[in-house]
């Protein structure tokens, strides 16, 4: 029997995560914990439960189904759905993820996040879009979470895609050992690579780990001659200053090899519901979304050094800007 990995979503017709039309495979599990993460459901390496308060009619079926007293008693739906409400359906500390509450819900208010799929199950879904790949030069992008958290499965997924003639992008934060990352990089067609901050202490403060390994791996990918798009989430009061990006452009200009393009991804709050659905308090909930015009200003620091730069992966000629480290589905 083929081994599987947890997948949160297979997102079709993506246009900013590699060339052409892409099918994004989001694997679940990440060793980092970026405070601005726009796909928080991909961090934990195990299945989770969304509770979508706007769909919940407070019928009590989930309460009756739960064997661990991990479901909150119903209240009036209007009260539960108020913006200022602190009511949450699941007592997460008691829940053992048996999913009986999800099975009992008839209204789609409870949903499993993370489905185990095999390599062939993923590739069969990806291959449905082959006509779009053939016409646009697209293919599959493996994202997350962090794909390299599943090295053996990822290697098999890449090998399977190559055998089917599918173009492969690896979307990685680079936080793994080179003996894991190096062979994976060599077997894909291109790499999408995250850069969050150059200062290791600031990196650790907002991400949960220093950046030394990430910067070393970035240099390793460039030395290997692999096509690479560098992606930088721009977060308010963290890495949004002109001075920081002048230094970043200088640093990147001194690395070996060539970065094909740099995507600057302005912070947004489209993911706010996901934190609520998971029962999490998002520390950046009150932060203001970033005006795309700010990114255009910062881009000049990189353009002055000859880099090709886009806003949210979309270019400055159109303002369909997205933000975050991983793109919110």
pLDDT band at residue 320 using 50, 70 and 90 as cut-offs = very low
The predicted model gives 133-146 an average pLDDT of 96
Whole-number pLDDT of residue 324 = 37
Q: Give the Cβ contact number of residue 282 at 10 Å.
A: 19
Asked if omega into 145 is within 30° of 0 (cis), the reply is yes
Whole-number pLDDT of residue 314 = 54
41 CB-contact burial (10 Å; exposed 0-12 / middle 13-18 / buried 19+): buried
The predicted model gives 44-59 an average pLDDT of 97
- Cβ-based neighbours of 68, under 8 Å, separated by 6 or more: 94, 95, 96, 98
- Per-domain residue ranges for the chain? 4-45+115-311, 48-113
Evaluate if pTM is beyond 0.85: yes
Q: Give the Cβ contact number of residue 253 at 10 Å.
A: 13
62-85: pLDDT as tens digits: 999 999 999 999 999 999 999 899
What is d(CA 273, CA 260) in angstroms, rounded to the nearest whole number? 34
Domains 4-45+115-311 and 48-113 share a fold: no
Whole-number pLDDT of residue 323 = 34
CATH class of the domain whose range is 48-113: alpha beta
What is d(CA 215, CA 268) in angstroms, rounded to the nearest whole number? 25
Pairing mode, strands 261-266 and 227-234: parallel
**Cα Rg of the chain (Å, integer):** 21
**pLDDT greater than 50 at residue 128:** yes
**pLDDT greater than 50 at residue 329:** no
Whole-number pLDDT of residue 83 = 87
85: its two tokens:
């409400």
What is d(CA 310, CA 9) in angstroms, rounded to the nearest whole number? 25
The predicted model gives 296-314 an average pLDDT of 90
Nearest to 39 by CA among 214, 208, 310, 280: 280
Fold of 4-45+115-311: TIM Barrel (3.20.20)
pLDDT band at residue 308 using 50, 70 and 90 as cut-offs = very high
pLDDT band at residue 313 using 50, 70 and 90 as cut-offs = low
Whole-number pLDDT of residue 319 = 31
How would you label 173-207 residue by residue, b for 16+ Cβ within 10 Å and e otherwise?
Answer: bbbbeeebbeebbeebbbbbbbbbbbebebbeebb
* Average pLDDT score over the chain: 93
**pLDDT greater than 60 at residue 325:** no
pLDDT band at residue 253 using 50, 70 and 90 as cut-offs = very high
**pLDDT greater than 80 at residue 2:** no
Q: Residue 148's Cα: distance from chain center in Å?
A: 13
Three-state SS letters, the chain: CCCEEEEEEEEEEECCCCCCCEEEEEECCCCCCCCCCCCHHHCCCCCEEEECHHHCCCCCHHHHHCCCCCECCCCCHHHHCCCCCCCCCECCCCCCCCCHHHHHCCCCCEEEECEEEEHHHHHHHHHHHHHHHHHHCCEEEEECCCHHHCHHHHHHHHHHHHHCCCEEEEEECCCCCHHHHHHHHHHCCEEEEECCCCCHHHHHHHHCCCCHHHHHHHHHHHHCCCEEEEEEEECCCCCCCHHHHHHHHHHHHCCCCCCCEEEEEECCCCCHHHHHHCCCCCCCCCCCCCCHHHHHHHHHHHHCCCCCEEECCCCCCCCCCCCCCCCCC
Beta bridge partners of 266: 234
């Amino acid at each position: 029997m083929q081994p599987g990995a947890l997948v949160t979503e297979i997102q079709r017709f993506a246009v900013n995560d590699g060339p052409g039309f892409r099918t994004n495979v989001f694997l679940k599990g990440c060793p980092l914990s970026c405070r601005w993460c726009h796909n928080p459901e991909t961090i934990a390496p195990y299945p989770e439960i969304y509770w979508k308060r706007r769909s919940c009619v407070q019928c009590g079926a989930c309460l009756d189904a739960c064997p661990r007293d991990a479901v909150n008693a119903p209240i009036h739906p209007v009260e539960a759905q108020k913006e200022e409400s602190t009511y949450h359906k699941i007592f997460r500390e008691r829940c053992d993820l048996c999913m009986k509450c999800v099975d009992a819900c008839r209204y789609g208010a409870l949903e499993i996040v993370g489905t185990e799929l095999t390599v062939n199950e993923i590739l069969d879904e990806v291959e449905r879009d082959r006509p779009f790949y053939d016409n646009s030069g697209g293919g599959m992008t493996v994202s997350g979470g962090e794909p390299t958290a599943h090295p053996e499965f990822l290697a098999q997924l890449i090998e399977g895609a190559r055998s089917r003639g599918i173009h492969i992008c690896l979307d990685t934060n680079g936080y793994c050992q080179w003996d894991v990352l190096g062979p994976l990089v060599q077997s894909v067609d291109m790499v999408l690579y995250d850069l969050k901050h150059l200062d290791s202490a600031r990196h650790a403060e907002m991400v949960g780990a220093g950046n030394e390994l990430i910067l070393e791996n970035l240099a390793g990918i460039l030395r290997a001659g692999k096509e690479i798009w560098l992606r930088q989430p721009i977060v308010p009061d963290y890495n949004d200053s002109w001075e920081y990006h002048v230094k970043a452009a200088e640093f990147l200009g001194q690395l070996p090899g060539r970065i094909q393009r740099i995507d600057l991804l302005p912070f947004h709050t489209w993911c706010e519901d996901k934190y609520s659905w998971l029962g999490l308090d998002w520390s950046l909930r009150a932060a203001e979304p970033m005006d795309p015009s700010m990114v255009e200003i910062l881009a000049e620091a990189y353009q002055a050094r000859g880099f090709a730069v886009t806003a949210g992966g979309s270019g400055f000629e159109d303002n369909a800007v997205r933000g975050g480290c991983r793109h919110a589905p």
